[in-house]
Structure 1
Amino acid sequence: MVSIKDVAKLSGVSVTTVSRVLNNRGYIGKETRLKVEDAMKQLDYQPNQIARALLKSQSHVIGVIVPDLSHPLFSELIHWIETYASEKNYKLLLCSSLQDKEKELNYISMLRQNRVDGIIMCSHTLEVEAYRNVGMPIVSFDRILSPEIPYVAGDNYRGGELATQHLIDKGCKKILHISGPLQYELLANRRNDASQLTCMKQGVSWDYMEGAHVKATFQDNWAFIEEKISAMLTEYDGVFCSNDIMAYALYTYAKEHGINVPEQLKIIGYDNHSFTRMLQHPRLTTIKQPIDAIGKNLCSSLIDQIEQEGKEIPRNTVLDVRLVEGETT
């Protein structure tokens, strides 16, 4: 195995000089740096990242915990987080909790043992105290974990308002909102608040139903529709879905059961992620979250905490959303 001593010998400098080049510390002349870098290439020298992390107390690795990697929103979000992290010379260690408390706890423990510099938390199944005790910089997506932990989110209240008002403007008189799990302190639940208040202000009848623990697959959303809302679907003329996969499953279910969309039933989703953008028919009406900007802000918020230790915690970031009108309303 090639060692730092081999690099020093080939480049004709001391081990200390090689170490300075590796850690970018102290003044190193351009010619000396090039000699060391050339020797490393010739020898295919790979620095021991764990040892360097112990020495510098920084690993340049970020942990990311998501609830479900198969969900298009999170897979696209990871893409943008990784893109920005790479620009800042950070790598990702990715975990999928599957909404399981024990898995989430184990992943947090594993990330701490692997000395990541911080965690981007996109999952939330634990009590607030568990996140406070992480003992490293942390930022959350769309979740309030603690007043001390900053979050990044799309404007969920505005999204709920836009979606519901659009259904009302299209003539809907009785609206159903299929929400996410309301027992958690999720910012996405502001969509439900906004939907109810918008209907009340406009004098429109409304109901809501939790789509809690519904997985990301089309089949699971279809099963939820069959079991929970199929018997009463014709009571509504508008449905605001918690995500686009649910909206598409509902459109397909309605079509197969003789309910015309949008003539009899208008459907609007949420996210406008890669899955939605690939659909040619129908083009879903949905609320677009700025997934690229969310990923960048999550990453920059965490790196600010890592690299400016002891300074003020970054503020919460709420980003604009917008209505994308398709063929389902």
Structure 2
Amino acid sequence: MVNIKDVAKKAGVSVTTVSRVINNRGYIGKETRKKVEKAMADINYSPNQIARALQKSQSYLLGVIVPDSEHPFFAELIKNIELYAYKNNYKLLLCNSLDEAEKETNYIGMLRENRVDGIIMCSQTLDVEEYKKVDLPIVSFDRIMSNDIPYVGSDNFNGGRVATKHLVDSGCQKLLHLSGPLDLDMLPNRRSDAFKLVCMEHDIPYKIIEEEYSRDTFSFFEHHEKFIEEKVSKELLTYDGVFCSNDILAYALYIHAQKRGINVPEQLKIVGYDFNSFTRMLQKPKLTTVKQPVDRIGRELCSTLINMIEDKDGEKRNNTIVDIELIRGETT
């Protein structure tokens, strides 16, 4: 069987250089990396992942816990996490918590039993203190847990500010915000803070209606439809602009308005949030929305966790906030 020495001889480099390429450690010039990778392909050499794991006391497994991988945003986020993990020779164990605290607790235990090297937490139903007890590197998406647990998220406050300011600049005189539950200490709640602030700055009357998370038998769209029918429909004509917490909710609101004969955007302007694959596939209408760069968020989550695992730089990990962008469509 060919080994790492054969690769080094074929590429004309040292065994140390080949090891650095395989383990993605240290600086390797582009041409040198290409030479080593070509040599590996030419002699059909494949690194022994099990041996590497035993040598470094690593499993090269990352745990990812999401609320629901069926949701377009999280489906796209998982894809981008996996792409970066694959490039760095890591694999994923994916768990759906369905926003159930007991299930999330059990999954954390299962991931520890399977010796994952670290966890990306996109579902946060437990008290912050519970995450501090997990004796593994953790990176959080959209939640501040502690000084020792870094987080990655988009600029939620600016996203809420940009969305609300756009509605005001479009001539809206009374605004409604359909948000997620605001009792949870989550970074997306900063969107609601910004919404209130912009409305007060422009002396615009406003209201916020919270949509509770629910794990019923409805699809995401049907769940939003039910929420709109029960909590929003009766007073919808009172407002001329609505900022929705996500794009599926914004689209459900658009369909509801169409059924009621409310013209969008003439009578009612709608702004969503996310610009995920679902939104990009929509042909009619093209939603006005705030884009979260899900590709960069996924990359930052994964790279932050891998750096913690491999203790690169040996420093405290910084939190990462990525920029948002307003995507103008046909609903404003």
- In the superposition, the TM-score normalised over structure 1's length comes to 0.85
Paired residue secondary structure (2:199)? helix
Q: Which residue of 1 aligns with 2:286?
A: 283
In structure 2, relative to structure 1, the CA distance for the partners of 1:244 and 1:214 (3 Å cut) is farther
| Superposition pairs of residues 148-227 of structure 1, within 5 angstroms | 148-213=148-213, 217-227=220-230
Q: Which residue of 2 aligns with 1:63?
A: 63
Deviates more, 1:241-250 or 1:181-190: 181-190
Paired residue secondary structure (1:259)? coil
| Superposition pairs of residues 309-320 of structure 1, within 5 angstroms | 311-320=314-323
CA-CA distance at 1:209 after TM superposition: 1.1
C-alpha distance in 2 between matches for 1:54 and 1:231: 62
C-alpha distance in 1 between matches for 2:214 and 2:163: 21
For residues 267-323 of structure 1, the C-alpha deviation after alignment (integer angstroms, 9 at most, x for no partner) is 100000000000010000000011111111111110110001792221000011010
Give the conservation status (yes or no) of the 8 Å contact 1:118–1:306: yes
Give the conservation status (yes or no) of the 8 Å contact 1:145–1:185: no
Matching residue within 223, 239, 247 for 2:242: 239
For residues 151-193 of structure 1, the C-alpha deviation after alignment (integer angstroms, 9 at most, x for no partner) is 0110000000000000001111111111112122110000000
Paired residue secondary structure (1:94)? strand
- Counterpart residue identity of residue 222, structure 1: E
- Counterpart residue identity of residue 73, structure 2: L
Q: Which residue of 2 aligns with 1:250?
A: 253
Paired residue secondary structure (1:228)? helix
Identity %: 57
C-alpha distance in 2 between matches for 1:214 and 1:263: 33
Q: Which residue of 2 aligns with 1:17?
A: none
Give the conservation status (yes or no) of the 8 Å contact 1:164–1:240: yes
C-alpha distance in 2 between matches for 1:300 and 1:318: 14
Paired residue secondary structure (2:274)? coil
Give the conservation status (yes or no) of the 8 Å contact 1:77–1:295: yes
For residues 172-229 of structure 1, the C-alpha deviation after alignment (integer angstroms, 9 at most, x for no partner) is 1111111112122110000000000000000001110111205661111101100111
Q: Which residue of 1 aligns with 2:31?
A: none
Matching residue within 272, 276, 279 for 2:275: 272
Give the conservation status (yes or no) of the 8 Å contact 1:137–1:302: yes
C-alpha distance in 2 between matches for 1:200 and 1:48: 58
CA-CA distance at 1:129 after TM superposition: 1.3
Deviates more, 1:153-162 or 1:203-212: 203-212
Q: Which residue of 1 aligns with 2:298?
A: 295
C-alpha distance in 2 between matches for 1:59 and 1:183: 37
| Superposition pairs of residues 46-195 of structure 1, within 5 angstroms | 49=50, 53-195=53-195
C-alpha distance in 2 between matches for 1:261 and 1:302: 43
C-alpha distance in 2 between matches for 1:156 and 1:194: 9
- Counterpart residue identity of residue 325, structure 1: R
Matching residue within 312, 322, 329 for 1:326: 329
CA-CA distance at 1:70 after TM superposition: 1.0
In structure 2, relative to structure 1, the CA distance for the partners of 1:83 and 1:208 (3 Å cut) is same
Runs of 4+ in structure 1 over 6 Å off: none
C-alpha distance in 2 between matches for 1:58 and 1:310: 19
CA-CA distance at 1:146 after TM superposition: 1.8
Paired residue secondary structure (1:270)? strand
Give the conservation status (yes or no) of the 8 Å contact 1:118–1:138: yes
C-alpha distance in 2 between matches for 1:297 and 1:55: 27
C-alpha distance in 2 between matches for 1:208 and 1:96: 29
Give the conservation status (yes or no) of the 8 Å contact 1:124–1:184: no
Give the conservation status (yes or no) of the 8 Å contact 1:73–1:274: yes
- Counterpart residue identity of residue 139, structure 1: V
CA-CA distance at 1:57 after TM superposition: 1.5
For residues 115-139 of structure 1, the C-alpha deviation after alignment (integer angstroms, 9 at most, x for no partner) is 0010010010001111111111110
- Counterpart residue identity of residue 56, structure 2: K
C-alpha distance in 2 between matches for 1:97 and 1:55: 33
- Counterpart residue identity of residue 258, structure 1: G
In structure 2, relative to structure 1, the CA distance for the partners of 1:104 and 1:310 (3 Å cut) is farther
C-alpha distance in 2 between matches for 1:214 and 1:178: 15
